[in-house]
Amino acid sequence: MFYNILKYIRFQTPITCDHFQETQNEELILVNDENTHHSFFHNYPSNPYIHAVRIFGGKNYPQTYKIISLGQYSTKVIYTRKDKGINYKIPNNYQVETTLNGLVVLCKTQYQFSRKIAVKYIVEWTDENGQIKSSYSLSSAGAAGSLFLKEICNKPNSRVSGTTLFGLDIGFLHQIRKIIACQPQQSITPANRK
């Protein structure tokens, strides 16, 4: 059934059967968010790929994410700016790979602890010479994405939704982080110590 749905949706990153593990006991999960009109196709955490379809103004906007690091919530959590009355928790040390303007980018969050806690939003990419480049912002994920577009595309007035770019609106990832945070911490002893 999932593959029948896919023929009606074009993803920025080509979707193939290789993106999803196929076992008899695992099925692809479809998560619909009625409040935001977002749908997420995934088999996370068994598979790091999440395919999102967001509807804005009656049009479908697909985006593919590869979760590199789920991150965790700090004791003092920072939230995104409200997007249509909704704001989202921002995890620390979160890394996700996606596509922006046709290039694969790595989006990262890093909490900065000084007098005031802030989040450093980083967009990283590899240039045509194989060099890793990055743009960052301490104000918002959208600002980091816009700086990327300004540098790569020479589009100084381009804007991008940071919440969408970084996948901060993927609700089930928030639920997984909460579950992990509630798990008792286990002490790990190296094998050579007894």
pTM metric for this prediction: 0.78
**Alpha carbons 85 and 90: distance in angstroms, whole number:** 16
Partner residues linked to 61 by β-bridges: 54
Task: List pLDDT tens digits, range 40-71.
Answer: 999 998 999 999 998 888 888 899 999 999 99
Domain ranges of the chain: 2-181
DSSP state of 17: G
Q: What is the structure's pLDDT at 15?
A: 41
Strands 59-69, 78-79: parallel, antiparallel or unpaired by DSSP?
Answer: unpaired
Give Dmax (Cα) for the chain. 62
pLDDT tens per residue, range 151-186 = 887 777 878 889 999 999 998 999 999 888 887 765
Structure tokens at 74: 């700090």
Q: pLDDT over 70 for what percent of the chain?
A: 77
Q: Reply yes or no on whether the pLDDT at 5 is more than 90.
A: no
